[in-house]
Amino acid sequence: MKHFLLKGWAGSGPLPLLVGKDYHYLVRVRRLTQGALLPVCTEQGLEGLCQVAKLGADSLTLTWKETFDPASSSTSINQNHLPEITLYPFLLKSGKMEDVIRQACECGVRVIQPLSGEHCVGRLEGKIEIQKKVDRWNSIAREACQQSGRSWVVTVLAPVTPKDLPETLETGHILLFFHEQPLAKASLHGYLACKPSHVGLIVGPEGGISPNEVKLFLHRGYSPAHMGPGVLRAETASIAALGAVNVILQESDSWTIPK
């Protein structure tokens, strides 16, 4: 089901007046009319059904009609009992990074934590530039979630360095880093067979993950993963990794690890 992501409403009181881009999207793109019904979700994950109560020349008012049960929602992550996925992409050049964020949201990621590493070509300098970039990334994420029918809002965080990542992993959490070389005789099926509650995916930049970063990840107990001998662009690798992990997790009840 294709939801509209409703910002600025916590589940009580009047719904916000929709203007600007939201008005254009609902009226010009979705072609809503007076009285039309619209599936929505909030930034807190509340799902429900709204109705167009008032349609003006440049604004639109909704009323909340029904709240959906998360257990029966077709888009709820709880229905499939899937773990949440966090993507840790190393910074890429501006356009490529935006493509990764947009497509990662379509693939069902929950959080995107960019990394600034030794081999990154893309760089961000200064608090103002970083905040502007993070604001744009979150705007892209919101639009991508809305377009793909996700019932949650993906959060894109400000970049950190690999050293800022967790030194120890919580129970049920696994963190995979994808490398161009097979650093371990292990498969994605093997890593995911433990039915983790949270999966983190680290994908390197154009220049690859540096030897120092590999050493750091191994020392912290992160698991090296490999996607075969083909050479993938950095922006392709993130989406390929997400797609592979998603399919394995979604089909986890129907496959077994050979003895």
| Domains (range + CATH), the chain | 4-67 (2.40.240.20), 84-250 (3.40.1280.10)
Q: Residue 104: pLDDT above 70?
A: yes
Query: Using CA atoms, how far apart are residues 149 and 6, in angstroms rounded to an integer?
Result: 13
Q: What's the pLDDT band for 78 if we cut at 50, 70, 90? A: very low
Q: What integer pLDDT is reported at residue 142 of this predicted model?
A: 85
**pTM of the predicted protein model:** 0.78
Q: What integer pLDDT is reported at residue 244 of this predicted model?
A: 93
Pairing of strands 47-55, 37-42: antiparallel
Q: Residue 8: pLDDT above 60?
A: yes
High-pLDDT (> 90) share of the chain, %: 55
Torsion, Cα 67 150 51 138, to 10 degrees, reads: 110
